DNA sequence: CGGCACATACCGCCTGGTCGGTGGGAGGAC
DNA sequence: GTCCTCCCACCGACCAGGCGGTATGTGCCG
């Protein structure tokens, strides 16, 4: 379950051995995250991937199509990861903790993807944006169900909407792209641990409600 | 302190009574948030503001200059708000709670600004981006100091870095632009209350440390 | 009558996308 | 085995459009 991070050093010109679509995907991910979707010209992109425009338009119908492909890859990975944790054994609180920590870890291991995900959604067509949102929602709901279950069981406080907690948590995760640096003081795993702790702490049943209810 | 929300219905063609620079600022805020900076052409922008290109380039040196002006306005507002709360009287925990809730409220009342802030940072020149980051950091630090103080006083748990807590919190606030809708089930004030509760709950001294340390 | 606050026509550049071409490998005919 | 054929993956010069930005003109106010 910890072996999905090995495709990481394959960023530069790309070994030429990889198939063209993957090289494009990888170059696009890097450049879109670095300069933004609109600031990355198709020419730059294909140069970075070591292919030509012709090659790109052979596999992707447009620049936006390429962006969408990036989204699909991220979405697929996220979903797969969460499923694994949600369906594992053990006490709910531990599963949630593990899943939360893993989301953080996966996020910092694929920071480029995350940066693009939230920054460039509006560059997708209405239709595709809808598709992304839908998939993303399913993801949220999977997470939310874990929290709801805990609330019903009484192991989590129930005076705060599960939906809100999920949005709260993923907000902080999403924000990682704004401040996390691989060479910083905290490792991805450390941050994951803290974030999961924070989540669980904020869900601990409260003897003295401060809230607005 | 709750009266800064009145500039809200002045969005459409703009009463023509307002001075040109403000009309441009307001149109830019709306359009940049709606379609993104790159997708908004200067022509669209000036049309929406009810002025001409000539007028715009009379007050702003470039499209990016206009974006920067948007940032400056947001920054100024955020800073001013926080100062008020940080320097108020009362117990630390209460001040932090109030400040946190207010950040949320201010954010949802000015959602467009927030959306632009995090989505379009990379469209600014290196220099201006630096300026924005610097100001933003000062803002974070002001918040962090409240938490640190609480940690030293023992009213907040100290086994989690204050910096990380701040980033965690502001991440969730920033994310509001992704899901909050004015016509949704939760009001800005309600969300603010919850978020502040969540923050305080996650800072409550912990009898049984789960953490990674 | 000077100059500030705009108006408008215009420009060159750069971008995403296209389209006729091509080389080389698989495969059928003999 | 060899040749011819075909087609698929890819090439790259080219294009039209739209963009940000400019430059010159003009009316109005002090």
Same domain (yes/no): B29, B130:
no
Report the candidate in A153, A146, A117, A126 with the shortest Cα–Cα distance to residue A36.
Answer: A117
User: Which of B170, B194, B202 lies nearest to residue A198, judging by beta carbons?
Assistant: B202
Q: In sequence order, what are the residues at sequence separation of 6 or more whose Cβ sits closer than 8 angstroms to the Cβ of residue A111?
A: A33, A176, A177, A180, A182
User: Of B60, B84, B99, which residue sits at a domain end?
Assistant: B60
Structural domain containing residue A74 = 67-203
User: Which of B190, B195, B210 lies nearest to residue A168, judging by beta carbons?
Assistant: B195
Please calculate the CA angle B70-B182-B201 and round it to the nearest 5 degrees.
90
- CA-to-C1' span, B45 to D18 (A): 15
Sign of CA dihedral A161, B143, B26, A130: negative
Residue at B109 is within a domain? yes
Q: What is the mean pLDDT of chain A?
A: 88
Mean pLDDT across the stretch B123-150? Answer: 95
Same domain (yes/no): A180, A97:
yes
- Looking at beta carbons, which residues of chain A come within 8 Å of B198? 160, 165, 168, 202
Stretch (H or E) spanning A59: helix A53-59
pLDDT band at A88 (very low <50, low <70, confident <90, very high): confident
Same domain (yes/no): A168, A89:
yes
Dmax of chain A from CA atoms? 65
- CA-to-C1' span, B201 to D14 (A): 63
Query: Is strand D within 7 Å of residue B106 (CB)?
Result: no
Mean pLDDT across the stretch B191-197? Answer: 97
- pLDDT surpasses 80 at B210: no
pLDDT band at A207 (very low <50, low <70, confident <90, very high): low
- CA-to-C1' span, B86 to C2 (A): 52
- Protein-contacted bases of chain C (C-beta within 7 A): 5-9, 14-21
Same domain (yes/no): A85, A32:
no
Residue at B89 is within a domain? yes
Judged by DSSP in three states, B86 sits in: helix
Same domain (yes/no): B132, B34:
no
B56, closest nucleotide (Cα–C1'): C6
**pLDDT value of position A134:** 95
Residue at A8 is within a domain? no
**Chain B interface disruption, residue of A38, A174, A197, A204, most B CBs within 10 A:** A197
pLDDT band at B87 (very low <50, low <70, confident <90, very high): confident
Other Cβ atoms closer than 10 A to A2: 7
User: Of A5, A26, A60, which residue sits at a domain end?
Assistant: A60
Residue at B25 is within a domain? yes
**pLDDT value of position B16:** 59
B52, closest nucleotide (Cα–C1'): C7
pLDDT band at A15 (very low <50, low <70, confident <90, very high): low
As for how many domains chain A has, the answer is 2
Same domain (yes/no): B81, B53:
no
Which tokens belong to B154?
């023992």
Same domain (yes/no): B115, B195:
yes
CB A113 within 8 A of CB A73: yes
pLDDT digits (tens, 9 = 90+) for B138-149: 999 999 999 999
Mean pLDDT across the stretch A17-39? Answer: 93
Q: The domain spanning residue B35 has which CATH number?
A: 1.10.10.60
**pLDDT value of position B18:** 80
Residue at B210 is within a domain? no
Residue at A141 is within a domain? yes
**pLDDT value of position B20:** 78
A42, closest nucleotide (Cα–C1'): C16
pLDDT digits (tens, 9 = 90+) for A135-193: 999 999 999 999 999 999 999 999 999 999 999 999 999 999 999 999 999 999 999 99
Same domain (yes/no): B140, B51:
no
Same domain (yes/no): B40, B83:
no
**pLDDT value of position A102:** 94
CB B118 within 8 A of CB A178: yes
pLDDT band at B19 (very low <50, low <70, confident <90, very high): confident
Q: In sequence order, what are the residues at sequence separation of 6 or more whose Cβ sits closer than 8 angstroms to the Cβ of residue A4?
A: A77, A81, A106
Same domain (yes/no): A172, A123:
yes
Residue at B2 is within a domain? no
Residue at A73 is within a domain? yes
- pLDDT surpasses 80 at A4: no
Which tokens belong to A135?
């998939």
Mean pLDDT across the stretch B62-91? Answer: 91
pLDDT digits (tens, 9 = 90+) for B161-177: 999 999 999 999 999 99
**pLDDT value of position B207:** 58
Percent of all residues in chain B with a pLDDT value above 70, rounded to a whole number? 88
CB A190 within 8 A of CB B212: yes
Same domain (yes/no): A42, A104:
no
Mean pLDDT across the stretch B181-199? Answer: 96
Same domain (yes/no): B49, B128:
no
Q: The domain spanning residue A73 has which CATH number?
A: 1.10.357.10
């Amino acid at each position: 379950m910890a072996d999905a991070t090995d495709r990481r050093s394959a960023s530069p010109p790309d070994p030429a051995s990889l198939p063209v679509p993957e090289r494009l995907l990888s170059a696009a991910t890097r450049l879109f995250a670095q300069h933004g979707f609109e600031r990355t010209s198709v020419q730059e992109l294909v140069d970075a991937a070591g292919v030509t425009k012709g090659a790109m338009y052979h596999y992707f119908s447009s620049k936006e199509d390429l962006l969408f492909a990036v989204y699909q890859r991220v979405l697929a990975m996220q979903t797969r990861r969460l499923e694994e944790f949600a369906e594992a054994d053990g006490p709910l609180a531990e599963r949630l903790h593990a899943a939360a920590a893993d989301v953080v870890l996966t996020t910092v291991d694929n920071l480029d993807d995350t940066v693009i995900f939230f920054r460039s959604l509006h560059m997708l067509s209405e239709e595709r944006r809808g598709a992304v949102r839908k998939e993303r929602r399913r993801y949220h709901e999977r997470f939310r169900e874990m929290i709801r279950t805990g609330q019903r069981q009484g192991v989590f406080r129930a005076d705060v909407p599960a939906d809100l907690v999920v949005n709260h948590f993923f907000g902080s995760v999403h924000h990682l792209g704004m401040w996390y640096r691989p060479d910083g003081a905290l490792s991805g795993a450390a941050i994951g641990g803290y974030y999961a702790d924070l989540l669980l702490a904020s869900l601990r049943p409260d003897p003295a409600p401060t809230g607005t209810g």
